[in-house]
A and B are shown apart, each in its own frame.
Chain A
Amino acid sequence: MTDAAQTGPAHGVGGRPQLAPPKLETGVLGWMHHNLFSSWANGVTTIVLIVATVSFLSSFLDWAVVRATWTAASGAECRGGGACWALIHEKYRYIFFGSFPYEQQWRPLFACLAMIAMLLISSDRRTWNWRLLAIWTVGSFITFLLMFGQLHFPFVLFLIIALVGGGGGMAIRSRVAESGELNAYRIAAAIGLVGVVLRLTGILPPFGITIAPFSYVETGSWGGLPVTLILATYGLAFAFPFGILLALGRRSNLPLIKGLSVGFIELIRGVPLISLLIMASVMLPLFLPSGSNIDKFLRAQVAVILFAGAYIAEIVRGGLQSLPKGQFEAADAMALNYVQKTALIILPQALRVVIPPLINTFIGFFKDTSLVLIIGIFDFLNTANSALVDPAWAGFPAEVYLFAALVYFIFCFSMSRYSKYLEIELNKGTRR
């Protein structure tokens, strides 16, 4: 045994001195040695790629920053050889907000901020309960009040909310709630039902609440980033539960529900989104009673919801299929009913598994909203595109598209990082 009073490097079990690892294996040098220069071929490739990247970046930065023109009075002045960011400086109001009345453009700005705030707050897991409904109701109210300027709430809307809320509450909380709470749901549903019937039969006159703080701006004048955000946010917010219901319906044992779900999914997936938008815009008015006019923007929104819902349904169905049968059996054996089993056991596990393809779909649809150009709605990409039409500023497509790409990248990359965060957060207990 070695003498305990020895100085020098720490001693291991056998008494041999413990040496430090070789310098070339650890730290930055070690990483470079292993990853970049581990063999001759790798070393040469590394050098070639570094040279190529540096030269590309330097010429790009030269064009984009060094020789760029940042302000100019017209396109002619801007041909200094570098990027013409003056075009963006000149046109950014139109690119972001389209043909919304110029002096009122602070409204769509704040509407965008409200929606972004709503999304950021919703991303925190601590809000994933009833608070979510409150946040979205308030956020949506602010957004649409700003965009429209004037909102009219027919009384029927509140009656329908009472009916749906009461009915839903009765169905979901029937096992768990006290009788007082259940009675509240029953009363709400009853009032809602009676009121809707009275209104439909014409006995109750139409009246409602109007809130009109600003001037009215119809949806035809909306454009730019708010349009993209509204179509994507509300499209996916409604498509997500709709897709889940479709997926559950497709797995149902009841032939009618299963048939309807399968039929809907296959029909919607079988046609391009453009054709759905055109059908919604052109054909739907033919089927409706003449005179009634459903807003074009609403039609586009519904088309996006239906389309995204079908795709989300198939992703969720994949997640449902991946669960071992034992999970369903254990839930059944504990006397959980279908709603409890699905909400507490099945969906939490199924959705966790399919976070990557779901966020993938969300990112794709965020950009697919540009297709609404086909029915004359100008979302962000289309307003950017229109900025090129001005003859005084002709000839700078790269700057406009790079700028649009940058904005899209900010949103899509954020979604992608959030997806990563969600995967880690929600799978804390399992070894993934």
Chain B
Amino acid sequence: MAAAARDLSNTPSVIELRVVNKWYGQFHVLSDINLDVKEGEKIVICGPSGSGKSTLIRCINRLEEHQAGDIVVHGVTLSNDVKNIEAIRREVGMVFQSFNLFPHLTILENLTLAPIWVKKMPKKDAEEIGMALLERVRIPEQANKYPGQLSGGQQQRVAIARALAMRPKIMLFDEPTSALDPEMVKEVLDVMIELAGEGMTMLVVTHEMGFARAVADRVIFMDRGEIVEQNQPELFFANPQNERTKLFLGQILHH
């Protein structure tokens, strides 16, 4: 079901990117990015590979450094100040394409690591939260197994639960289903759709256009480091304005 167009003009912005530029050496990978993400907004970012979409969301939690412009998350400006970076990383959870679970820890230990060591939570409370999250992603029975013993779809759901364990206000997804077998993509997308329904602010880099239609408030198309076009999903897919957008949609919607 397509999301009804929501009026978010009165909600506060949680992420602001102002004239953000980034270079890898001489290569200009992000070019004058301006983006305003409202609280509770779900944004899908799509584009050809090399367009800078992963780099963009990785700049938000400082996994990549931007050289020019401002990034402000929840009022905290992202700079080289370690305190700012850590404050932002506590509020922003991230899910990676290659899951990045810690293979030497059990599933439950993966989930409780950050609450115990970053939030100084007692182990019991952290484990309760961990088990509740595993119930939410529907794999509570895997709590004492190791990541190597789980399937890809299960590992990614654990990764989502692990990011949620820190109670973030914003969730970033970097191609969460791209490394999964097709039959496992649905189980992960279902979890993400539920999460969206609960009001989480989400930035999702993905090629899953069905997900975009179902859940997104805005779809952003990036190419060669620039935001080329952005719109509500129905308008975006039905009536792309830019030539490059049309080309990309033609390639991606025809298989």
Contact = CB atoms under 8 A, between A and B. Distances in A.
Interface residues of B, number: 32
Contacts of A332: 61-63, 89
B56 to A, nearest CB: 15
A133 to B, nearest CB: 21
Given A326-B96, A335-B86, A428-B146, A348 B120 contact: no
A344 B117 contact: yes
Contacts of B89: 332-335
Contacts of A352: 104
A348 B102 CA distance: 10
A126 interface: no
B104 A336 contact: no
Given A333-B94, A344-B113, A430-B146, A327 B100 contact: yes
Please classify how large the interface on chain A is, using the bins under 10, 10 to 19, 20 to 34, 35 or more: 20 to 34
Contact of A333 (B93, B106, B113): B93
A430 B100 CA distance: 14
Contacts of B106: 429
B33 interface: no
B146 A327 contact: no
B12 to A, nearest CB: 23
Contacts of A330: 94, 96, 100-102
Given A329-B96, A429-B104, A336 B63 contact: no
A400 B162 CA distance: 61
Interface centre among A333, A349, A352, A430 (most CB of B within 10 A): A333
Contacts of A345: 102
Interface string B97-113: 01011111010000001
B176 interface: no
Contacts of A23: none
Contact of B103 (A175, A337, A340, A430): A430
Nearest to A345: B102
A324 B101 CA distance: 11
Nearest to B121: A176
B148 A430 contact: yes
A16 interface: no
Contacts of A337: 82, 86
A322 to B, nearest CB: 13
A324 B63 CA distance: 15
A389 to B, nearest CB: 53
20 contacts: A175-B117, A176-B116, A176-B120, A326-B96, A326-B98, A330-B96, A330-B100, A330-B102, A333-B61, A335-B86, A336-B114, A337-B82, A344-B117, A345-B102, A348-B104, A349-B103, A352-B104, A429-B146, A429-B148, A431-B148
Interface of B: 61-63, 82, 86, 89-90, 92-94, 96, 98, 100-104, 106, 113-114, 116-118, 120, 145-149, 162-163, 166
Given A333-B89, A340-B117, 10 more contacts: A324-B98, A329-B96, A333-B92, A333-B163, A335-B86, A345-B102, A429-B104, A429-B145, A429-B146, A430-B104
